[in-house]
Amino acid sequence: QVRLVESGGGLVQPGGSLRLSCAASGSISRYFMAWYRQAPGKRRELVATIFSDGSTNYAEPIEGRFSISRDNTKNTVSLQMNSLKVDDTAMYFCNTYDGTKSLWGQGTQVTVST
């Protein structure tokens, strides 16, 4: 079973940038990879998805500000987040499906605040 470990979260001011990374313990080349986020008191929501062919989808609130990418040689997926807003504050999770079950990392906290 592939394990996912997120990193790169932190505290940033509005308008700033962060780059999140998700490292997988095994090959992810066949899988779609996704980033979700969950703010306190809110449901977990899909942020961005990248498929095995490199195509991407973004949630409307972040489109144009975030960019998802993957490096199958390193088994990593990244989320470049620009023009961050206070509303982007959340725990961010990496996700994939290995054909049997949905897999999640432990999350990395992103806080956007003055």
pLDDT band with cut points at 50, 70 and 90 for residue 111: very high
CA distance 16 to 29: 31
- Compare 16 and 100 and report the one with higher pLDDT: 16
Give the number of residues written for the chain. 114
**Average pLDDT in the chain:** 95
pLDDT digits (tens, 9 = 90+) for 28-74: 889 999 999 999 999 999 999 999 999 999 999 888 999 999 999 99
* Predicted pLDDT of residue 109: 98
Portion of the chain with pLDDT greater than 90, in percent: 86
Name the burial class of residue 12, with classes exposed (0-12), middle (13-18) and buried (19+) by CB atoms within 10 angstroms of its CB. middle
Question: What three-state secondary structure class fits 43?
Answer: coil
Q: What are the angstrom distances between the C-alpha of 6 and each of 15, 21, 92, 107, 109?
A: 22, 6, 8, 6, 10
Q: Please, are residues 64 and 49 in contact by the beta-carbon 8 Å criterion?
A: no
* Predicted pLDDT of residue 98: 86
